[in-house]
Structure 1
Amino acid sequence: MSEVAQPRGPRAHIVRQAHARAVELGIIDIIVALQAQLGQALLAVIVTKSPRTIKRWANKTVRVPQAIEQLLRDTFQVVELLSSAGSPEVARGWLMGMNPQLDDASPAEVLSTGRARDVIAAARVFISAS
Structure 2
Amino acid sequence: MVTSTVVQRHRDTNRYEPHELVRELNAGLGTTLVAALAGSKNRAQPYEWAKPDGAEPRAAAWNRLQFAHQVWRAVEEAEGAGVARRWFIGGNPLLSEQSPIAAIRDDRHAEVRRAAQAFVDGDVDE
- Interval of TM-score (by shorter of Structure 1 and Structure 2): 0.7 to 0.9
Which residue, out of 91, 103, 127, partners 2:96? 103
1:18 maps to what in 2? 9
Which whole-Å CA distance do the structure 1 matches of 2:26 and 2:2 have between them?
30
Do 2:32 and 2:44's aligned partners in 1 also have CA atoms closer than 8 Å?
no
Larger relative CO (CA 8 A, sep 6+): 1 or 2?
A: 1
Bigger CA radius of gyration: 1
1:85–1:16: structure 2 CA closer, same or farther, 3 Å change rule? farther
- Among 115, 120, 129, the alignment partner of 2:122 is 129
1:61 CA drift (Å): 2.7
Residues 18, 36 of structure 1: alpha-carbon distance in 2 compared, 3 angstrom cutoff: same
Structure 1 residue 42: Cα displacement? 1.2
Q: Give 1:41 shift.
A: 1.3
Task: Give ranges in structure 1 of 5+ residues lacking alignment.
Answer: none
Is residue 55 of structure 1 aligned with residue 56 of structure 2?
no
Relative to the length of structure 2, the TM-score reads: 0.86
- Partner Cα distance (1:126, 1:65) in 2: 30
> CA distance change for structure 1 residues 115 and 33 in 2, over 3 Å: closer, same or farther?
same
Q: Percent identity, please.
A: 26
> Which consecutive unaligned segments of at least 5 residues does structure 2 have?
none
Cα distance in 2 for residues equivalent to 1:129 and 1:24: 29
Q: Aligned-pair distance for 1:21?
A: 2.4
Separation (CA, whole Å) in 2 of partners of 1:43 and 1:6: 25
The answer to whether residue 111 in structure 2 is matched with residue 118 in structure 1 is yes
Aligned residues between the structures: 121
| Distance (whole Å) between structure 1 residues aligned to residue 119 and residue 88 of structure 2 | 11
How far apart are residue 20 of structure 1 and its match?
A: 3.2
Q: What RMSD over aligned residues (CA atoms) do the two structures have, in Å?
A: 1.8
How far, CA to CA, are the matches of 2:8 and 2:76 in structure 1? 12
Instruction: Give the superposition deviation at 1:17.
Output: 4.6
Shift of 1:115: 1.0
What is the deviation of 1:43? 1.0
